[in-house]
Structure 1
Amino acid sequence: MEYIRSTCRRLEGHHLFLILTSLFIVLTGVSYYTGTLVLLSALIFYISFVVGKRLYYILGLDEGDREIYKREYTFGLLLMNIGLLFLILDILWAGGIPLFDPTSKRFLSPLYTMLSRLLILGWAIVIASNLSLDKVRVVLYSLIFAAVVMLLGYRTGVVVLLTSTLFVLYYSNRIKNRELILFVLGIFLLLLLLSLIRLKVVGSEGIPLLSRMDLTMSVLDIIVHNFNGVFNGYLLYCAIYSYLGMAPGPRTVIANSLGIQGVTITPTIFGEVIGDFGILGVIPYFAILGISMGLLYKIAENSKGIYLGVYAVILSYLLVSIETAILDLDVIMYFILGFLLCIYAIVKKYRSC
């Protein structure tokens, strides 16, 4: 009973998504129409997530516990080493360290950058597969890895690494709500510091995070009113084929569509869906996303290991995507991996019957 009560008090993915989405609506000047669409999309995800959790019990996946296999820990270490290798190669390819030399950032290899992010996924799987690692060592190592990832000059990777680490610790019962909130505040302050540094470098003014949020939501407003379904799947196409040099980046497409050259613009996760599939597209998109993530969450909660590591990473990317959208090939593949893990757990359950 104590376990059930503690679970009920736990912050889950659908809670966090709805809270963060609401903050974007309240703290920005987005129109009432667009704000309503965003809120409805978040509510669809919220309800679908609950359905996914319920599906876990309907399918009988709650019967029995799974051991944490050593091979998952080894697999996580392998991904970390691959990610670290390509991070070093990326810096060598660029001819400088983007964190200290912003001009070298444009010379980074998209492929190497994508593969370097395996460090994040690998670390999440490692700490989810080795529950004997205490939280102090995990946090210390995470800060070191975050500093390494920060060398590429991207804030998203740093935020995802730190938040996915927190989610693994939280959902494996190594930290409680109070510690989670304190750590999240720490990440918020770090993000604020990085934003201040970036604005100082480019010579801009304003409140960093609010300025970025307001800009992103204004872009969403434009997409809703002028580009509803116009891209017809082209953003998703570009997200995949831009890594093969066969299409421009999806965020570049957004910028060019707004008449802006030489920069990339993030459309939010809501903007990418509405731009590609129209307003009605948000219903199946967030329904499928919510059900699959709710199911994976319950599997991860019970099984830990690779399930929890992957869930923590895709939840982190989901929260970040409220601003950045899910338009990177590796991130799309992580979500597909999460869905495949759900299928694997179901098939494994019924094959053993």
Structure 2
Amino acid sequence: MSVIYSKLTSVINKISDEFHKSFLFTTIFSILSFIENQWVNSYFKKLYPDEDFLNFLNKSNILKNHLFNPLIVIVLFSFFLILSMNNPSTSLVITLLIGFIAFFIGSTIIPRRFLNKNIKLVEFNRKDIYSIGFCLILVSIVFFGICIASVGGIPLLKPSIRYLLKPIFTMPVFLIIPGTCLVASAYLNDFQSKNITRSQTRFRFLFLLAMDSALLLLLGYRTPLLAVFLIIIIIGFYGNIISLWEVVMGGLIGVGAIIGIGYFRSLSEMTITSSTNPLYTLQSRADFTLHVLNLLDFIGGTFGLTHGQLLASSIPGSDLGPRMLVGKLIAWRTEVTVTPTLIGQMVVDFGKIGVAVEMCILGFILGIGFKIMQKTKNYFYIAIYSLILTYAILGIETGILDIQVLLYFAIALFIYLINMKKST
């Protein structure tokens, strides 16, 4: 495995180096370096509130030390269910309790038995991590251009053509998310090594966020944009790049953006009128998703219906994608995609038993990742935890069903298990 990794990173490093030497990228980085210097030395930067702004937030132990604890998944899942104006069935309430308890055991209780002494980390070279992230961003930019060309316009300006986008082209665009995560972690390593200042790191984080936002917004996607936003916040928070008050304000802005984008997109698609409450878009989504979950819980029962077929449909080349398969299961319509929530796939595939097992496994991956990150403060392990926690949070509505997201969790688990073995 190490031989494969070494050869792969050697090729990727060469590609990254060649691009960095090119005239185009030399010019781009020169311009960015100039802007960064102006930013760092700007007089207006001094007017920005310092770390002690809203200092009362730092007095909360939960906010300061456990804001992004894995249990945030359960808290946000509960909040999402509360948004709905309908009530879950008795059977679904039981399923949810089983899932929440299993997640708590996996994320909080089981990790206490591991890595209680000195942790022997699997170390990753900073250059390798940066080069991998840089190349992923390059791939996403190339496919962004292909997406725009394939539909003949910009989906943000013409919402109707968004539905013409082909998954084979859009999936590589989303590689910008792990790419940004890895590049941001490399900058965090530079900050931890005192090669760059905190202000320089903050500027680079902002630039990555702005670049990603531009690409994803132009394609009209909301969830991937939220993913980038969350990743930057989590890495910045645990890397001491972003203050607690900025995280809280960023969270409020993020929620506002979700409501705003959903509201104006619904207006453009004429599914609501201008007199409609902006919160209605969130409530209606929660209502519909809860209705779907009630149906999936009913057909899944105790032992499940599809026995792994829904999860397997995430594999490229399947006749139907997982969310289309959900549409077929509940409405016999294969032309629509339906989000099944975090536990939807689990209950349909393996019933309440599957919910218990899969939620415990998900909790364990997040719980052991959180423990390693807190104990080591290592830049790479901060990044990998931010990536999987972000997709767990987004999966509350969408489910963890995309093949690349499943791959992120598989890689994270593999790395964590190696660390556990080394540390015994």
Q: CA deviation at 1:303?
A: 5.0
Number of residue-to-residue matches in the alignment: 343
CA distance in 2, matches of 1:69, 1:126: 9
Whether contact under 8 Å (1:61, 1:349) holds in the other structure is: yes
Q: Distance in 1 between matches of 2:138 and 2:248?
A: 31
Shift of 1:275: 0.7
Residue 372 of structure 2 is matched in structure 1 by 299
Render the CA deviation track for 1:75-123: whole Å, top value 9, x for unaligned.
2212211222222222222332222223322332322222211111011
Q: Counterpart of 1:161 in structure 2: which amino acid?
A: V
- Alignment of structure 1 residues 72-221 onto 2, 5 Å: 72-131=129-188, 132=191, 133-205=200-272, 207-221=280-294
Which residue number in structure 2 is paired with residue 274 of structure 1?
347
Percentage of pairs with the same residue: 27
Q: Provide the rounded CA distance (Å) in 2 between the counterparts of 1:47 and 1:173.
A: 29
Residue equivalent to 2:15 = none
Deviation of 1:129 after TM superposition, in Å, equals 2.1
Q: Does 2:325 match 1:253?
A: yes
C-alpha distance 192-290 of structure 1, shift in aligned 2 (>3 A): same
Which deviates more, 339-348 or 146-155? 339-348
Segment drifting more, 159-168 vs 75-84: 75-84
Residue identity matched to 1:105 = R
Contact 2:341–2:397 under 8 Å retained in 1: yes
What SS does the corresponding residue of 1:269 show, helix, strand or coil? coil
Pair 43,37 (structure 1): closer, same or farther in 2 beyond 3 Å? same
Whether contact under 8 Å (1:25, 1:35) holds in the other structure is no
- In structure 2, do the counterparts of structure 1 residues 285 and 175 end up closer, same or farther at CA, with 3 Å as the change threshold? same
Contact (CA 8 Å) 1:17, 1:42: kept in 2 or not? Answer: no
Unaligned runs of 5+ in 1: none
CA contact (8 A) 2:99 2:359 kept: yes
Larger deviation: 27-36 or 316-325? 27-36
Check 1:108–1:67 CA distance in 2 against 1; reply closer, same or farther (3 A cut): closer
- Worse-matched range after superposition: 38-47 or 181-190: 38-47
2:82 equivalent in structure 1: 26
Q: Tell me the distance in 1 between the aligned counterparts of 2:263 and 2:239.
A: 34
Residue 57 of structure 1 aligns to which amino acid in structure 2? Answer: L
**How far did residue 142 of structure 1 move?**
0.4
Q: Equivalent residue of 1:14, what SS?
A: coil
Where does residue 70 of structure 2 map in the other structure?
Answer: 14
CA contact (8 A) 1:196 1:208 kept: yes
- Structure 1 vs Structure 2 CA RMSD: 2.5
SS in 1 for 2:331: coil
Cα distance in 2 for partners of 1:26, 1:105 equals 30
Separation in 1 of the partners of 2:151 and 2:109?
46
CA contact (8 A) 1:48 1:291 kept: yes
* One-letter amino acid of the counterpart of residue 321, structure 1: G
Secondary structure in 1 matching 2:180: helix
Q: TM-score, normalised by structure 2?
A: 0.74
- The answer to whether the Cα contact below 8 Å between 2:70 and 2:366 also exists between their aligned partners in 1 is no
Alpha carbons 1:79, 1:122 under 8 Å: kept: yes
Distance across 1 between alignment mates of 2:179 and 2:410: 16
Structure 2 portions without partners, runs of 5+? 1-60, 192-199
Measure, in 2, the Cα distance between the counterparts of 1:248 and 1:275. Answer: 16
AA partner of residue 319 (structure 1)? I
Answer yes or no: is 1:290 the counterpart of 2:363.
Answer: yes
CA contact (8 A) 2:120 2:419 kept: no
Could you say if the C-alpha distance between residues 68 and 41 of structure 1 is closer, same or farther in structure 2, counting changes exceeding 3 Å?
A: same
Residues 36 and 198 of structure 1: is their aligned pair in 2 closer, same or farther, counting only changes over 3 Å?
A: farther
Match of residue 9 from structure 2: none
Q: Does 1:233 align with 2:308?
A: yes
Residue 337 of structure 2 aligns to which amino acid in structure 1? Answer: T
Give the 3-state SS of the residue equivalent to 2:339 in structure 1. Answer: coil
Q: Compute the displacement of 1:235 (Å).
A: 1.1
- 2:96 is the counterpart of 1:38: yes
Contact 1:125 1:305 in 2 (8 A): no
Cα distance in 2 between the residues matched to 1:347 and 1:84: 38
Whether the aligned pair in 1 keeps the contact of 2:326 and 2:337 (CA below 8 Å) is yes
In structure 2, distance between residues paired with 1:274 and 1:249: 17
Report deviation, 1:163: 0.6
Match of 2:55 in 1: none
**Offset of residue 176 of structure 1:** 3.6
Contact 1:307-1:338 at 8 Å conserved across structures: no
Over 3 Å counting, the alpha-carbon distance change for 1:180 and 1:223 in structure 2 is same
Alignment of 1:69 onto 2:126: yes
Relative to 1, partners in 2 of residues 1:332 and 1:66: Cα closer, same or farther, differing over 3 Å?
Answer: closer
Task: Return the TM-score normalized by structure 1.
Answer: 0.88
> Secondary structure of the equivalent of 1:268?
coil
